[in-house]
């Protein structure tokens, strides 16, 4: 799975470079997320600007990651989403996960929000 990462202070921004984030690549994502956690990255932004399709398996691994991060750093870890297109937003709304995940219009807005929350 192709993911580009960069850091803004302690915040890790992961841009998913796959057009389809689905059952085929979801197992790879969870391995990478575990590595980030082991590396003490506990504020993570997932940038979906390159993603056009996600399925329920991908949504499941994002939920798993969200739980891991919320438990990390004595409950201070955070996972946010940004640059979600209308299709993916419709799935988040259908599953009500739009009311659970912090979702921002772009990575700059997400970085600002996570930096202020610390």
Partner 1 sequence: MSSHESYYLQLIIPSDKEDSRLIGRAVYSFCLHMGFDDVQSYQIELATVEVTHNIVGHAYRNCPDCVIELHAQGLNDRIIFTIIDKGEPAEFAFSSCCPVDPDDAIDALPESSMGLYIITSVMDTVEYEVYEQSNILTMMKYLPKS
Q: Which residues bind partner 1 (CB under 8 A)?
A: 20, 22-24, 53, 55-57, 59-61, 63-64, 66-67, 70, 86-87, 90-91, 94-97, 99-100
Angle at alpha carbon of residue 15, lines to 11 and 19, rounded to 5°: 160
Q: Which is nearer to partner 1, 7 or 87 (CB)?
A: 87
Do residues 35 and 11 lie in contact, with contact meaning Cβ atoms separated by under 8 Å? no
Q: Which is nearer to partner 1, 5 or 94 (CB)?
A: 94
Tell the smallest beta-carbon distance from residue 106 to partner 1 (Å). 20
Tell the smallest beta-carbon distance from residue 24 to partner 1 (Å). 5
Tell the smallest beta-carbon distance from residue 58 to partner 1 (Å). 11
For the chain, how far is it from start to end, CA to CA, in angstroms? Answer: 30
Tell the smallest beta-carbon distance from residue 32 to partner 1 (Å). 17
Q: Which is nearer to partner 1, 27 or 108 (CB)?
A: 27
User: Residue 11: which H helix or E strand, with range?
Assistant: strand 11-16
Q: Which is nearer to partner 1, 5 or 23 (CB)?
A: 23
**Strand bridging mode 20-21 / 53-54:** parallel
Largest Cα separation within the chain, whole Å, is 35
């Amino acid at each position: 799975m192709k993911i580009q990462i960069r850091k803004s202070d302690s915040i890790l921004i992961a841009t998913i470079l796959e057009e389809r984030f689905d059952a085929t690549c979801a197992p790879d994502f969870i391995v990478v997320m575990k590595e980030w956690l082991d590396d003490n990255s506990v504020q993570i932004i997932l940038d979906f600007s390159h993603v056009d399709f996600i399925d329920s398996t991908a949504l499941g691994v994002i939920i798993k990651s969200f739980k891991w991060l919320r438990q990390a750093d004595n409950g201070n870890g955070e996972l946010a989403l940004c640059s979600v297109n209308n299709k993916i937003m419709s799935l988040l709304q259908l599953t009500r996960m739009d009311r659970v995940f912090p979702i921002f219009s772009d990575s700059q807005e997400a970085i600002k929000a996570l930096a202020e929350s610390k």
